[in-house]
Structure 1
């Protein structure tokens, strides 16, 4: 049996917990918003966005010292591409993020008395939505790594939460910007869900957005501070 280094186990566990908690916040607040404001979709989206922004702030603040608080395969890929972590070290993050997101959706369903596993019927693929996912993901990457490369990583919890909260409204797709959470949201037939047939298009757009965001970071912040190297 191969022993897992305790530090690596802690990092992967933090990614699982953070990804699951983030999806629980997104899906759970979406269900609550539907019930609290059944006749006002705009208010539902506002309630969902506020809860997500605040939840992201807390989760990043708590878990960033352990794993970097990626909760997102795109962020992990860019982290490795920019040399902050090795590719080998981030590979275990990916299944932890996806499984965490699925678990978070299941838990949110159960907390609100729904069947724990349901398949979303909400079709979301359209040209504007795919463009929105590309833009939202590129912007997220730029926000995170511009702060890291300019010595302002301490701003990340607030900046990422604020960005995603705003992106709920300035994108047509309501800014999933995360392949793992896209998979997780397939398992909740509620306000925050996405039909499985829509997920591949969203994920492709998110990966393209991650690449574009990486190019922007390299263009605007070509060097990282010595203190940020590890």
Structure 2
């Protein structure tokens, strides 16, 4: 326990000490992430209007390339979560204060909404256009559990086994692959799920589907947390 606490203090010491700056980083990072996901989805629809597979590839590629950049940009300011499930797992594992998580989650949600609105406006659409894309099925519910559990496992096993430096690349690669190997195209993030409701485009999700996706993501976060505790019960010094 003593080693774990020393490790956690060391990890937190690398972050910006100003709470307002950490929260602002989570807001801006989440906004940029949503703008990438929604904007690339709109672009894909327009560039490849008759090929859904190509649209998904374009959307996945943009997301997989942008995620490592955004994480590297903000990782030493806020930890670069951009995802309520990641923030909850971070605090549950004792690696971040619950106060930060309580402040991060609203910033992440508002950031993703703002990013979706920005993407709509950049492509000449209405600022807000509620998505009509129903996505919730038993298969996609299960897929979101798998996608989110996998994301938590990737982030925190790497963090707790001294390989935090590769997290940005690993997260980008995992999410890019999960676009294709999960039936849900791997939202794996309650904040981005809420943001996607605001765009009736390729990346959108109907409000009626979003609650089921968020429930699956929270379950997946719990599964991922349990797996991290099993495979990496004690953190070691970071190699970052």
Q: Shorter-chain-normalised TM-score: which range?
A: over 0.9
Q: CA deviation at 1:178?
A: 0.2
Under a length normalisation based on structure 2, what TM-score does the superposition of the two structures give? 0.92
Q: Distance in 2 between matches of 1:25 and 1:74?
A: 20
Q: Distance in 2 between matches of 1:204 and 1:6?
A: 33
Q: CA deviation at 1:225?
A: 1.2
Under a length normalisation based on structure 1, what TM-score does the superposition of the two structures give? 0.96
Q: Distance in 2 between matches of 1:50 and 1:7?
A: 34
Superimposed CA distance per residue, residues 112-137 of structure 1 (whole angstroms, 9 cap, x where no aligned partner)? 00001110000001000000000000
Match of 1:130 among 141, 150, 167: 141
Tell me the equivalent position of 1:35.
46
SS for the counterpart of 2:136 is coil
Superimposed CA distance per residue, residues 71-109 of structure 1 (whole angstroms, 9 cap, x where no aligned partner)? 000000000001111111221001000000000000000
Tell me the equivalent position of 1:207.
218
- Is 1:88 matched with 2:99? yes
Tell me the equivalent position of 1:45.
56
How many residues get paired?
Answer: 224
Q: Distance in 2 between matches of 1:182 and 1:40?
A: 24
- Is 1:61 matched with 2:78? no
SS for the counterpart of 1:65 is coil
Where do 4+ consecutive residues of structure 1 move more than 2 Å? Answer: none
Q: Distance in 1 between matches of 2:231 and 2:95?
A: 17
- Is 1:173 matched with 2:184? yes
- Is 1:152 matched with 2:163? yes
SS for the counterpart of 1:35 is helix
Superimposed CA distance per residue, residues 138-176 of structure 1 (whole angstroms, 9 cap, x where no aligned partner)? 000000001100010010110000000000000000000
Match of 2:117 among 91, 101, 106: 106
Match of 1:139 among 144, 150, 157: 150
Gaps of 5+ in 1: none
Tell me the equivalent position of 1:78.
89
Alignment RMSD: 1.2
Q: Distance in 2 between matches of 1:38 and 1:216?
A: 41
Does the Cα contact within 8 Å between 2:164 and 2:238 map onto a contact in 1?
no
Gaps of 5+ in 2: 1-15
Tell me the equivalent position of 1:193.
204
